[in-house]
Amino acid sequence: MNTQQRIALFVLLLAGFVTIFDLFVVNIAIVNIEQTLNATLTELTLIIVGYELAFGLLLITGGRLGDIYGRRTLYRIGMFGFTLTSVLCAISPNAICLVIARCLQGLTAALLFPQVYSSIRLNFDDTQAKKVFGLLGMTLGLAAIAGQALGGFLISLNLFGLEWRTIFLINLIIGIVALTLSHYLTQSETLDYIRLDIGGVVLSAFSITFTLIGFVLSSLLTPKWVRKFGEQIIYWGAACYALSYLFLIGTIYYLISPENSSLVIPFLFLVGFTQGMIMTPMLNLVLAKVKPEFVGIASGLTATLQQVGAAIGATCVSIILQFSLSHTLSTNIIEQYKIAFRFSMIFNFSMAICATLLLRKIVFQK
């Protein structure tokens, strides 16, 4: 790896670090923010969730814009926007302004972050890329830890009486360094002849939003249902969760077309809603059946299994999706994706059925 590549690696890791760092650092600062801005619980929630939601909504679009206009160009735009919105967060005079700034920060992070992955392939050969992806994974993990450890240190240090504002101002230094060194990144070929699919952007944004709305709504309602109907509501939630995937498969395979692709949105809402029915009361259900002296280790084990399960599930779906795309007989790209997505959803449906059967045993055991 030559000097240019080492600097390019540093620049890319900076982007990965700072976007994930800001995902976690606010959790530590939230009490201090509440005290200094007199923020309500709703405003505090939006300060945390606003970044995450905006970040998730435009990641696909950010990646596509990098394809069209060049990845170094989008890196610079994303890093400049992220740095600017970080400063806006730091100077926010009230909670509402901070909520808006955090949402804007999430949008710019969505422009920046996809360029990290795609630029690795552009700046390094296959052998180097494997090592770089490993370093990136380590950096993202460190960013999550630093968001809590370094964030707490910066707040307690209270430089110039700025308190929580320093967690955002540190991004100004990182942004200046990254932008200064960004010319070491290789510029990808611009594909001006490709148009951005505005309809696809809107559809993906609405799909993610409605899935999250369903999850949040059921998370609020499920505790009341558990008190009224008992633990069996979790079992029925899991059964409906599996059924929602069945509806999604049928919709994609038999009903959906480029002209009516919005048909998928209500079923994604159903997926999110039924998932919330399971996730919210699950920990209470598990821990209620554990002896008091084992509650701590049971909590840690449950959280670990959730993270491992999420990683394994995402990997399996990705493998199935890629295998289906490369082995489908259809020459129509839309049909290829419909078939591949259907097989991925069949895997999810199968896992949901397994979860339903296991929950039945737990909930209805004497």
Question: What is the per-residue pLDDT across 301-319, written as a single tens digit (0 to 9) for each?
Answer: 776 776 677 667 766 776 7
Domains of the chain with CATH codes: 3-184 (1.20.1250.20), 220-364 (no CATH)
What pLDDT is stored for residue 355 in this prediction?
Answer: 83
pLDDT tens for residues 108-139? 998 998 888 888 878 888 788 888 888 888 88
What pLDDT is stored for residue 93 in this prediction?
Answer: 92
Q: Is the pLDDT of residue 326 over 80?
A: no
What pLDDT is stored for residue 265 in this prediction?
Answer: 77
What pLDDT is stored for residue 356 in this prediction?
Answer: 86
CA 115 to the chain's CA centroid: 16
Question: Cβ neighbours of residue 230 under 8 Å, at least 6 residues apart?
Answer: none
pLDDT tens for residues 178-223? 999 998 888 766 666 566 666 666 776 777 777 777 777 777 777 7
What pLDDT is stored for residue 75 in this prediction?
Answer: 92
Secondary structure class of 331 (helix, strand, coil): coil
What pLDDT is stored for residue 100 in this prediction?
Answer: 94
pLDDT band at 331 (very low <50, low <70, confident <90, very high): low
- Rounded Cα distance between 147 and 153, Å, is 10
The radius of gyration computed from the CA coordinates of the chain, to the nearest angstrom, equals 23
Which amino acid is present at 323? F
What pLDDT is stored for residue 191 in this prediction?
Answer: 60
Question: Rounded mean pLDDT of the chain?
Answer: 80
Q: Is the pLDDT of residue 366 over 60?
A: no
- Tokens linked to 23: 């995902």
Which amino acid is present at 171? N
What pLDDT is stored for residue 189 in this prediction?
Answer: 67
